[in-house]
Structure 1
């Protein structure tokens, strides 16, 4: 463990040094190196999140990872909004929508598929899923659907009072979800699997603090490198005459990699409850924290922000939520549900390429 822990400390540190040296901006060779370091930093983040989860227990471990990634994602969105640009008005909507579709169809779909492939059928607490999905549906409708049909402002905008109400609603719902997950109904979110003893994994307070610090360091460099490499990704996409919207999807996928890997590892280990805690909790955190933060920036800088989706996107989002609800309604899952969700994900990407 000591060697691996040292490795997961050295790699993010080297990535930060490379990033601030400026070499990643000037040389294609160093951009390749930066891409490798990005993937290794993702692995480092997953490792540190597993140590934290082992130390603090569930569901606190998954909450820490989900909120840490969301906070860094929000900071990047806000920095891009303040810097300006035509895309800034729809940046939060596109990022939240892409992240939600990737989580519901991609992460949950892969977990159900891989878990079903190895274990045939997996069990989980349907009460925890109902709490998460009820909260998620309400937040999604308030933030991404209702603005398309309001009349106070022309277009897919909220008026200032409406945006304030939606922000407060997000915080209230997400806060109540966290209260249920960590206190009132914490037993719903606990895994029923037999815990294996890992004598080699002795997590004391010193290791816990170190992992917390390097989890944030790893996540930070993942986001910064993804943002830095986005022009390269954009040039590759434009060279193949593909829509630029794919850039946002790819960047969102890179940011979600730590959560994705952690959730898939848990599903493969027959701990589907942990996977669902992480994936659905991440979707809630992504919207519940992003929209209020973005709304605050809009009030401070007197900016307008597009939140409402078009009809096609609303239909795809509704299909995804409805499919996840049906797939997780019985407390048991199998490979078929995973395949259907992955097909929904491919349809989302396909319709971006061929709108």
Structure 2
């Protein structure tokens, strides 16, 4: 529920920002790229570092993390890397047919992943020692109150984020900041991901690392699998331009982030050192936003 809520927030903010003022073809790309980088390096790194420091070594379910990575790699390459190399339109863009085709495939892949995670291969994403605790906790939660609070919070976050992002974008443009879209995209991603980041870190500190990774990596997959198709539909309906292909430097950072994720999750145990590798890449990403 939290993942779908966060994705809905991000879609609404990006679409409203796309329609705000002049055509802004790269905002969606920067927001999605920032989300993937913040999660795969910042959030995952914090979970591994703090959890590893408190518990020395933490267990993960390798089948589950491998599934997350496979879906995430496929989605990121199709939507953020492939547009740079297509020949039908300008570099970095898809034609209308290509955009629709990739959007359908993204939704199909994400839907297949959700089915596998929640129905067909549910045990691959749950730690055995945490299963009973999670079930007992879920039984004591009030669903109606939770949904009400969630909806109220979503409305407030959307209104706040839209106002803040629009104001920041106008200010950066007025001062002719060259990286305005990157900064605004990172700000949108950071504001929207805050609840999931907190939830993931708390799970890691409670020695439920797999649950934390489920929250974090699930959000990254949902961001691309659902946000890109929604933004693509808005672009096709309104006629606004949409540039998805990443510049070379960002593509290298993305490849590095996905590679260290695959290395970190290749075994069934993680330590704080594993997390520090992710943190270093995250700081590099943040630094290059302001000093490209």
TM surpasses 0.5: yes
1:188 counterpart = 2:124: yes
**How much has 1:237 moved relative to structure 2?**
11
**Aligned-partner SS, 2:43:** helix
Q: After superposition, give the CA deviation of every residue in 1:94-137 in whole Å (9 maximum; x if it has no partner).
A: 11001110010011110000100100100011000111110110
**Aligned-partner SS, 2:88:** coil
What is the aligned counterpart of 2:223 among 282, 286, 305?
A: 286
**Aligned-partner SS, 2:273:** helix
Q: 1:140 to 1:196 in 2, by over 3 A?
A: closer
Q: After superposition, give the CA deviation of every residue in 1:271-299 in whole Å (9 maximum; x if it has no partner).
A: 00101111110000001001111111122
Q: Mark the runs of 5 or more structure 1 residues left unpaired by the alignment.
A: 1-63
C-alpha distance in 2, partners of 1:343/1:197?
A: 32
Q: Which residue of 2 aligns with 1:230?
A: 165
Q: 1:77 to 1:250 in 2, by over 3 A?
A: closer
C-alpha distance in 2, partners of 1:116/1:317?
A: 24
Q: Where does 1:171-210 land on structure 2 (aligned, <5 Å)? A: 171-194=107-130, 195-196=132-133, 203=140, 207-210=142-145
**How much has 1:191 moved relative to structure 2?**
2.5
What is the aligned counterpart of 2:85 among 149, 157, 162?
A: 149
1:299 counterpart = 2:236: yes
Q: After superposition, give the CA deviation of every residue in 1:175-198 in whole Å (9 maximum; x if it has no partner).
A: 110011011100111122254599
Q: 1:301 to 1:193 in 2, by over 3 A?
A: same
2:4–2:222: 8 Å Cα contact kept in structure 1? yes
**Aligned-partner SS, 1:83:** coil
**How much has 1:306 moved relative to structure 2?**
0.2
1:221 counterpart = 2:156: yes
What is the aligned counterpart of 2:267 among 330, 344, 349?
A: 330
Root mean square deviation of aligned Cα: 2.4
1:314 counterpart = 2:251: yes
- If asked which structure has higher relative contact order (CA below 8 Å, sep 6+), I would say 2
C-alpha distance in 2, partners of 1:66/1:101?
A: 17
**How much has 1:220 moved relative to structure 2?**
2.7
C-alpha distance in 2, partners of 1:65/1:169?
A: 23
Q: Mark the runs of 5 or more structure 2 residues left unpaired by the alignment.
A: none
1:113–1:338: 8 Å Cα contact kept in structure 2? yes
* TM-score normalised by structure 2 residue count: 0.91
Q: 1:203 to 1:309 in 2, by over 3 A?
A: same
C-alpha distance in 1, partners of 2:7/2:60?
A: 25
2:13–2:161: 8 Å Cα contact kept in structure 1? no
The structure whose Rg is larger is 1
Equivalent residue pairs, number: 288
1:269 counterpart = 2:211: no
**How much has 1:201 moved relative to structure 2?**
8.8
Q: Where does 1:3-14 land on structure 2 (aligned, <5 Å)? A: none
